[in-house]
């Protein structure tokens, strides 16, 4: 008896083999979808590499943009401190200088206020009223006390006239006086009308004098 295959119906062995291959393909496809990454196409960069590159660019931009904010703030505070210190040093120097100037000015004012008293003492001494006695001792003590503050009397006959030290109130002919220098060649003080006073190098009052030119 001859076996005939019915048209349109696959044979049993062939059907089983085909079904097995299809099942294996399905399993492979499912495993890929469950976690395995497909190989990238040629020329395409992985997503992770792009993220790393972006992070590196951000860090480089941060470094190029400047120092850390805390470092910048610390530098500003240091600059402020240095400026304040410099201002304090300048202020202290100015105060010390002004204090010395104020002290000198106060001493000068006190000495200037005593000049009329000293003029009276000098005139009394010239007239012989303070040769001895208690008032002579008081006058001497007063002059010595003021001398501690640098007060000094100046102006004498025969001095060369100095407009910075003397005030010429009179100009007279050259007198015949042995107290005057015979070899004088410039204007000379011939009479002291009122002595001058200085405190250190500072003139409190110029000496008021009469002057003459040598013949």
Contacts of 203 (CB under 8 A, 6+ apart): 164, 165, 196, 197
Contact 211, 172 (CB under 8 A): yes
Tokens 């013949």 belong to residue: 215
Task: Give the alpha-carbon dihedral of 52, 53, 56, 60, to 10 degrees.
Answer: -170
Banded pLDDT at 164 (limits 50, 70, 90):
very high
Closest residue by Cα to residue 166 from 158, 178, 174: 158
d(CA 205, CA 116): 11
Any idea where the domains of the chain sit in the sequence? 150-215
Per-residue confidence band for 180, with pLDDT thresholds at 50, 70 and 90: confident
- Can you tell me whether residue 110 is helix, strand or coil? helix
> CATH: 2.30.22.10, 2.40.50.100, 3.50.50.60, 3.40.190.10. Which one for 150-215?
2.30.22.10
Report the C-alpha gap between 153 and 204 in whole angstroms: 10
Single out the residue of 115, 202, 126 nearest to residue 157, CA to CA: 126
Task: Give the confidence band of 2 by pLDDT, cuts at 50, 70, 90.
Answer: very low
Q: Say what the pLDDT of residue 130 is.
A: 83
Whether the pTM exceeds 0.75: the reply is: no
Q: pLDDT, tens digit, for every residue of 56-109? A: 544 444 444 457 888 888 889 999 999 999 999 999 999 988 988 898 889 999
Nearest to 194 by CA among 213, 172, 168: 168
Q: How confident is the model at residue 35 (pLDDT cuts 50, 70, 90)?
A: very low
Which whole number is the average pLDDT over 31-35?
A: 45
Provide mean pLDDT across the span 171-181: 85
């Amino acid at each position: 008896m001859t076996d005939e295959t019915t048209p349109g119906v696959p044979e049993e062995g062939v059907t089983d083999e085909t079904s097995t291959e299809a099942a294996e393909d399905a399993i492979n496809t499912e495993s890929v979808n469950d976690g395995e990454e497909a190989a990238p196409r040629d020329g395409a960069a992985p997503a992770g590499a792009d993220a790393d590159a972006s992070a590196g660019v951000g860090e480089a931009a941060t470094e190029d943009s400047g120092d850390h904010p805390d470092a910048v703030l610390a530098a500003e505070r240091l600059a402020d401190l240095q400026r304040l210190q410099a201002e304090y040093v300048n202020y202290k120097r100015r105060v010390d200088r002004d204090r010395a100037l104020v002290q000198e000015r106060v001493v000068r004012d006190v000495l200037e206020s005593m000049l009329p008293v000293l003029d009276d003492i000098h005139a009394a001494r010239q007239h012989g009223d303070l040769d001895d006695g208690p008032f002579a001792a008081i006058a001497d003590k007063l002059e010595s006390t003021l001398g501690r503050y640098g007060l000094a009397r100046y102006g004498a006959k025969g001095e060369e006239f100095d407009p910075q030290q003397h005030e010429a109130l009179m100009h007279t002919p050259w007198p015949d006086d042995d107290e005057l220098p015979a070899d004088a060649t410039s204007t000379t003080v011939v009479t002291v009308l009122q002595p001058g006073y200085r405190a250190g190098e500072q003139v409190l009052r110029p000496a008021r004098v009469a002057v003459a030119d040598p013949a």
